[in-house]
Structure 1
Amino acid sequence: MDAIDLFAGAGGFSTGARMAGANVVWAANHWPAAVEVHANNHPDTLHICQDLQQADWTQVPAHDLLMASPACQGHSRARGKERPHHDAQRSTAWAVVSAAEHHRPAFFLVENVPEFAKWELYPAWCAAMTALGYAMTPMVLDAADHGVAQHRRRLFIVGTRSRHPIALKLPRLSHVGAGTLIDFEGGKWSPIERPGRSAATLARIAEGRRVCGPRFLTAYYGNERGGRSLERPVGTITTRDRWAVIDGDRMRMLNVQECRRAMGFPDDYQLPHRAKDAMHMLGNAVVPPVARDVINALKVAA
């Protein structure tokens, strides 16, 4: 099976496709740093750095599977106040339609946040894909059910050129605790009780100690309060540091290596040297083992 990867980013879709035995022949992204990372890890893939709404699809190799993860920021509940640029971000999904219209691959696979299905133009987007001859199977999947030590719920839309939507049989694996990710001998630790530590942070840590004991995770932002047991998967990895490790009287943020593991990338997967860029790419990535399981199930069902 030959595949292409639109909005390839760090390469989660491509890595998952390779795990499933697919050959990723072409990948594209508008961010040069992401294209460089993808090329370093997938050297046999043809790469292009471009706004995909301006792409010339005649220059894209033939393929069986179109994979795409359009911008999610305009849909996500974490986006905050609605802003004008969110319309532009949401419109990236139309590149999937134009690519499918030209190539008509046998299958497509789109990943996004679950709120994508609440987009005002989602019915029109689905109608366009239906008009191209695709039957669609939308599924909200949690990465934790696929052997990854992270709770990450994402919408996957499987499209097939068939009369009826396809039924996929996906594995549901036992959850893996966040403790498997963490190197307690490494990282840059700091004392919890230090000048300048906010009262809110100290209160959150105190609550975590009460519930979880001396070792746990705590979120720096979001709806989660207190602590999260290391026997549970970590919460969603985001584009900026979110999760702190508490170990007795010291603490630190999860590092890039630990977040790479939480996303299901191999330990030797190359990421930017600048931690901020690496975290941004990981937070936006598709979880490879989830993509692997969906593609494997698609191959069986088709």
Structure 2
Amino acid sequence: MQQEIRTCDLFCGVGGSSRGAAMAGATPVAGLDMWGMATDAYAVNFPCAQTYRMKASSLKPQRLMDDVGKIDLLLASPECTAHSVAKGKKPGCEKSRGTAFEVIRFAKVLHPRWIVVENVLQMQRWARFDEWKSKLQSLGYHINSGVLDARYFSTPTSRRRLFVVCDREQEPSLPDQKNETKKTVSSILGRGESNSSPWPLSEVRTPERALATLERAERAIESLGDNTPFIMVYYGSDGAGGYQRLDRPLRTVTTLDRFAYVRPTKFGHEMRMLQPTELAAAMGFPTEHQLPKSTRREKIKLIGNAVCPRVMAAVVKTLTTPREAESKTAILRGREV
């Protein structure tokens, strides 16, 4: 890796991409997001970086360059919710999808050697996806893309996302997915909990409990047994029964409050929802990465929208590490000089 890789993070959110880039040895120097909670979190975690609270379309790339100088690596996670099939072809949705073209606008001026774009898998079915890639190619970039799952990158959650990697100088590669993580839900339970003030749990079987919740719990208990703790999963449609074991990675973290920890006691089963710090741990954020002072709902939304740092770290390291052929060329050039 070169001496310093200066990184700009468009649509930075809570800073998952920048955290991953930093883990790979890069230096975050700028982050942009229109959501105040996101930029608050970004500024706290990357105090040496310039933070912009605005739409990407409102920032002139030349201003960014004047503020922070050269950019080697451009990271971007454009708006992704509009790529959902349920969103249809509404004009507002196409405008949201079109935020991906901000990457082109910034690349034209910043001329970064590398670009990494992360998004949901459905982006590949976007009507303008090929046009978008062609515009990147017209700027001189070699492009590769693929789907990576966080559970193959020492992250205790399953999260499949599309990564598009670009390199001006050579064909880019994506990291291998060979070894599934050994980290499980059990490894995140209690992250951020105070010994003096533990999180309260409530009885599962109560008259006030929603029928659907009781049915999920009963299916899990019938399958796993009376003495096995488990995670109850809300808003799922994969036929898994609305629960999962603790001895495997957490199912995909979303912007919804969808996971409850259930454990047996001698008085019956009790439960609590997973806390934001536990969800952040499931996404692979290190303990030093701070969440903003905000509501629980806002924290979960930030985490659910984030990029898993360890996945981005692997992507950046693979993309920016000189390959053997490139290293030999550099040595030969040095001898010629």
TM bucket normalised to smaller: over 0.9
Q: 1:76 corresponds to which residue?
A: 84
Distance in 2 (alpha carbons) for counterparts of 1:247 and 1:73: 34
Question: Residue by residue, what CA displacement relative to the aligned partner does 1:13-48 show, whole Å, maximum 9, x if unpaired?
Answer: 110111111011111111122111100010000111
Query: Please, what TM-score do these two structures have when normalized by structure 2?
Result: 0.84
> Residue 83 of structure 2: SS of its match in structure 1?
coil
Q: 1:295 corresponds to which residue?
A: 316
Distance in 1 (alpha carbons) for counterparts of 2:309 and 2:116: 13
Distance in 1 (alpha carbons) for counterparts of 2:320 and 2:142: 16
Unaligned runs of 5+ in 2: 324-337
Moved more, 227-236 or 82-91: 82-91
Q: Is the 8 A contact 1:114 1:155 kept in 2?
A: yes
Question: Residue by residue, what CA displacement relative to the aligned partner does 1:30-79 show, whole Å, maximum 9, x if unpaired?
Answer: 112211110001000011111101220001232111000001111135x6
Matched, 1:56 2:77: no
What code does the residue aligned with 2:78 have?
P
Q: 1:110 corresponds to which residue?
A: 117
Q: Is the 8 A contact 1:16 1:292 kept in 2?
A: yes
Q: 2:244 corresponds to which residue?
A: 228
- Residue 187 of structure 1 deviates from its aligned partner by 2.2
Q: Which has the larger radius of gyration?
A: 2
> Residue 204 of structure 1: SS of its match in structure 2?
helix
Distance in 1 (alpha carbons) for counterparts of 2:37 and 2:60: 22
Question: Residue by residue, what CA displacement relative to the aligned partner does 1:119-167 show, whole Å, maximum 9, x if unpaired?
Answer: 111011111111111111101001110001000000111001146x323
Listed as ranges, the matches of 1:6-155 within 5 Å are: 6-60=10-64, 61-76=69-84, 83-155=90-162
Q: 1:286 corresponds to which residue?
A: 307
Q: Is the 8 A contact 1:238 1:284 kept in 2?
A: yes
Matched, 1:167 2:181: no
Distance in 2 (alpha carbons) for counterparts of 1:84 and 1:189: 45
Q: Is the 8 A contact 1:166 1:301 kept in 2?
A: no
What code does the residue aligned with 1:44 have?
C
Q: 1:245 corresponds to which residue?
A: 261
Distance in 1 (alpha carbons) for counterparts of 2:223 and 2:168: 51
- Residue 100 of structure 1 deviates from its aligned partner by 0.7
Q: CA RMSD in A?
A: 1.8
Aligned length: 300
- Residue 210 of structure 1 deviates from its aligned partner by 2.2
Listed as ranges, the matches of 1:253-272 within 5 Å are: 253-272=273-292
Identity %: 33
Query: Please, what TM-score do these two structures have when normalized by structure 1?
Result: 0.94
Question: Residue by residue, what CA displacement relative to the aligned partner does 1:190-231 show, whole Å, maximum 9, x if unpaired?
Answer: 111112212221111111112233311121112142321111
Distance in 2 (alpha carbons) for counterparts of 1:188 and 1:76: 36
Distance in 1 (alpha carbons) for counterparts of 2:87 and 2:158: 21
Distance in 2 (alpha carbons) for counterparts of 1:81 and 1:223: 20
Unaligned runs of 5+ in 1: none
Q: Is the 8 A contact 2:236 2:242 kept in 1?
A: no
